[in-house]
A = this chain, B = another copy of it.
Amino acid sequence: MIGEVPNIRVGQEFDSRRLAHEAGIHRPLQAGICGTKQNGAESIVVSGGYKDDEDHGDVIVYTGHGGQDSSRNQVSDQSLDDPGNAALVTSYLEGLPVRVLRGAHSGSPWAPAEGYRYDGLFRVTNYGSKLGIDGFLIWQFRLETYDGTPLPEPAKQETLPTDDESDDSDSGQVPAGTESPERVTTTVQRIVRNSAVKRQVKAWHDNRCQICELRIEVPGGSYSEGAHIQALGSPHNGPDTTGNVLCLCPNCHVQLDAGAIVISDDLTVIRGGAPDGTLRTHPRHVIDMSCVRQHRERWRQT
């Protein structure tokens, strides 16, 4: 269950992990990350269990799972093979939202005074490893709120800069409270819903580009993009169906979208006006040929 949980609002408080579990916000009772490599991370708990965590309110630097002993001392290296860490890599690669539950702890001015609080959806914007304070390798994930997610009231004056100005993303953080949470939720849920069609196609092709056969391998996963053959919305009005989506590497995706690649009725790939192989298919992935034709028509004079 990726995305918002019905009837739970941003800012809602829970007295215990069990109550958050029962509400469906964060299902495990112990683990800080809920998710799988396959599906991505549903939710995380930010509760100060790792010394290297940073909490800037709209930006959280979250230390991955693993390598701690029962007293929460870091005693060995973390790994992307850990299922929780792998889930966060998938969330990054797929652009999926992650629910954040903050627990009371002294390390963050954004933590609730007691219990747990659901603070909305965040996205993973980058990750990487470093030597942690305790001298072992840790993995860290930068999570950012979506534009307009309301921030909780900080418990005390926040002294760290929120690095808003240096944010590279197109939807960087801004002062909270100027946008309705309902609207943000609607926008993000649409991202989740639309991504389902693309994820199906990418799964069928195991992230291998249907045009150039490249599968981009990165630490912790592989990467591809779901590309609409005929664009959604006016003036092209392509359908949001698997028949109108291809699994492509980013380079072939750019070329398809901008007409440098078109596809013939026999699935020959025409790149820059010349044949360049054949679109690879999959038994369960039936290409919508009307979309292929409309896309080709759109670029026929080039």
Chain A interface, number of residues (Cβ within 8 angstroms) = 73
Q: How far is the CA of A194 from the CA of B142 in the complex (A)?
A: 20
Give chain B residues whose Cβ lies under 8 Å from the Cβ of A259. 128, 218-219
**Is the C-beta of A148 less than 8 angstroms from some C-beta in chain B?**
yes
Give chain B residues whose Cβ lies under 8 Å from the Cβ of A137. 301
Q: How far is the CA of A40 from the CA of B137 in the complex (A)?
A: 45
Instruction: Report whether A235 and B147 are in contact in the complex, using a CB–CB cutoff of 8 Å.
Output: no
Instruction: Report whether B168 and A233 are in contact in the complex, using a CB–CB cutoff of 8 Å.
Output: yes
- With A250-B251, A250-B254, A301-B137 already in contact, the answer to whether A194 and B219 are too (CB < 8 A) is no
5 chain-A/chain-B pairs, Cβ below 8 angstroms: A127-B258, A174-B183, A218-B258, A218-B259, A219-B299
Residue in B closest to A92 when the chains form the complex, CB atoms: B258
| A151: min CB distance to chain B, Å | 14
Interface segment, one of A31-39, A54-62, A274-282, A283-291: A54-62
Please report which residues of chain A, range 158-190, place their CB below 8 angstroms from some CB of chain B when the two chains form the complex. Answer: 163, 165-168, 170-172, 174-175, 178-180, 183, 186-187, 190
Instruction: Report whether A187 and B166 are in contact in the complex, using a CB–CB cutoff of 8 Å.
Output: no
Q: A residues engaging B (CB < 8 A)? A: 54, 56, 59, 61, 77, 80, 92-93, 95, 125-130, 137, 140, 142, 147-148, 163, 165-168, 170-172, 174-175, 178-180, 183, 186-187, 190-191, 194, 214, 216-221, 223, 228, 231-237, 240, 249-251, 253-255, 257-260, 272, 297-302
Instruction: Report whether A255 and B216 are in contact in the complex, using a CB–CB cutoff of 8 Å.
Output: yes
Give chain B residues whose Cβ lies under 8 Å from the Cβ of A190. 165, 167, 172
Instruction: Report whether B170 and A257 are in contact in the complex, using a CB–CB cutoff of 8 Å.
Output: no
Q: How far is the CA of A223 from the CA of B183 in the complex (A)?
A: 33
Instruction: Report whether A234 and B163 are in contact in the complex, using a CB–CB cutoff of 8 Å.
Output: yes
Residue in B closest to A78 when the chains form the complex, CB atoms: B301
Find A194's partner among B92, B168, B180, B191 (CB 8 Å cutoff).
B168
Instruction: Report whether B231 and A297 are in contact in the complex, using a CB–CB cutoff of 8 Å.
Output: no
